[in-house]
Amino acid sequence: ENRPIPEPGPNEVLLRMHSVGICGSDVHYWQHGRIGDFVVKDPMVLGHEASGTVVKVGSGVTHLKPGDRVAVEPGVPREMDEFCKTGRYNLSPTIFFCATPPDDGNLCRYYKHSASYCYKLPDNVTFEEGALIEPLSVGIHACKRAGVTLGSKVFVSGSGPIGLVNVLVAKMMGAAAVVITDLSASRLQKAKEVGADFTIQVKNETPQEVASKVESLLGCMPEITVECTGVEACIQAGIYATRSGGTLVLVGLGPDMVTVPIVNAAVREVDIRGIFRYCNTWPVAIALLASKRINVKPLVTHRFPLEKALEAFETTKRGEGVKVMLKCDPTDHNP
């Protein structure tokens, strides 16, 4: 609250932040101080699902002006390396990324960011939808990597926010049927609301039993599985469930080492693909939201002012609702 308002560089903009979503990774850093090799060593501002209003532009910025409403892409390459040249800038090892140590995030009143990674929002796209482009981008990137297309049968494992955006995007990309699993009945109900065709509430089934249920509901094994939990048993179920010659995309991150039936995948030519964040997704997402082809509004279940950030984080930690949204602009009274 008491930090000085930053001054934007030549190619940056200063934003008055409006809506910032809380992600599981934000909670993880808050609780554990690290995710894998990313360790919090100094105080760090959280938040990377964000939108705001431009209040000042650097001397080199021409496509934005004060008053513009923008969505923020949190990952900004620091150098034009081989990954940037091939269009996969998310893989750049030196990338700046909001709220990944040591880079500060944007859960604050004022924040400066590279102007090239701030995207103007059309009038019919809300700030909240703008903030939700970040998780939506994970779904877009995952479904693209999975090869979802017209008529695909898709199995989504995990019905948290990322599972739900994968349901939205898979259906948008032409999936004929999507089945989703979770432990929570309320989350599966939300999945139904956003377009899942079938739900499976997992209790104590073995991975093979889960795979069998997926097949019986779809009437066949799915060509594509999108695994959004990182849980070992779920990855195992994903391999068993995926049709021979199909694709399993690993979105959720769990322990460094997991035991999986790799020979089963290998002899059936199941391709296992990872994803790391996303790239080139903001223009696509904005077009989908502006055309009303995708509705992300049902994902937001809780809203808090910035002053109640701790309460918001506690709510997310308890797993209540789906997406918790913080409002950083005290002068705005719109929902």
Domains (range + CATH), the chain: 12-120+296-327 (3.90.180.10), 139-274 (3.40.50.720)
CA distances from residue 267 to 48, 201, 220, 310 in whole angstroms, order as listed: 40, 29, 19, 49
| Strand-strand pairing, 153-157 and 177-182 | parallel
- Summarize pLDDT for 144-197 with one digit per residue, the tens: 999 999 999 999 999 999 999 999 999 999 999 999 999 999 999 999 999 999
Separation between Cα atoms, residue 282 and residue 138, nearest integer Å: 11
pTM here is 0.96
Provide the residue type at 146 as one letter: A
- Which one, of 217, 222, 246, 251, lies nearest residue 234 by Cα? 251
The answer to whether 58 and 116 have CB atoms below 8 angstroms apart is no
- Summarize pLDDT for 115-150 with one digit per residue, the tens: 999 999 999 999 999 999 999 999 999 999 999 999
**DSSP 8-state code for residue 125:** S
53 three-state secondary structure: strand
**DSSP 8-state code for residue 133:** H
Residues present in the chain in total? 335
- Which one, of 171, 269, 178, lies nearest residue 222 by Cα? 178
- Summarize pLDDT for 97-114 with one digit per residue, the tens: 999 999 999 999 999 999
Looking at the predicted structure, is the pLDDT value of residue 269 above 80? yes
- Residue 15: the pLDDT is 98
Kindly compute the dihedral angle of the four CA atoms of residues 38, 146, 319, 177, in this order, to the nearest 10 degrees: 180
Separation between Cα atoms, residue 159 and residue 183, nearest integer Å: 9
| b (16+ CB within 10 A) / e for 47-70 | bbbbbbbbbbbbeebeebeeebbb
Q: Which two tokens stand for residue 69?
A: 């409403």
Separation between Cα atoms, residue 117 and residue 220, nearest integer Å: 42
Q: Which two tokens stand for residue 324?
A: 């918790």
CA distances from residue 245 to 184, 239, 294, 329, 335 in whole angstroms, order as listed: 31, 11, 29, 50, 46
- Residue 3: the pLDDT is 76
Residue 36 region, left (φ>0) first, then alpha (ψ -120 to 50), else beta? left
**Residue for token pair 């482009």:** 133
Report angle CA 268, 270, 276 to the nearest 5 degrees: 165
Using pLDDT thresholds of 50, 70 and 90, give the confidence band for residue 36: confident
% of the chain beyond a pLDDT of 70 = 98
Looking at the predicted structure, is the pLDDT value of residue 281 above 80? yes
pLDDT, averaged across the chain = 96
179 three-state secondary structure: strand
% of the chain beyond a pLDDT of 90 = 95
Separation between Cα atoms, residue 211 and residue 265, nearest integer Å: 13
- Output Rg (C-alpha) for the chain, integer angstroms: 20
- Residue 2: the pLDDT is 65
Following DSSP, what letter does each residue of 54-71 receive, concatenated?
EEEE-TT--S--TT-EEE
Looking at the predicted structure, is the pLDDT value of residue 259 above 50? yes
CA distances from residue 85 to 92, 114, 245 in whole angstroms, order as listed: 10, 18, 31
Separation between Cα atoms, residue 23 and residue 3, nearest integer Å: 23
- Summarize the confidence of residues 74-88 as an average pLDDT: 98
Looking at the predicted structure, is the pLDDT value of residue 205 above 60? yes
| Strand-strand pairing, 12-21 and 323-327 | antiparallel
- Residue 335: the pLDDT is 43
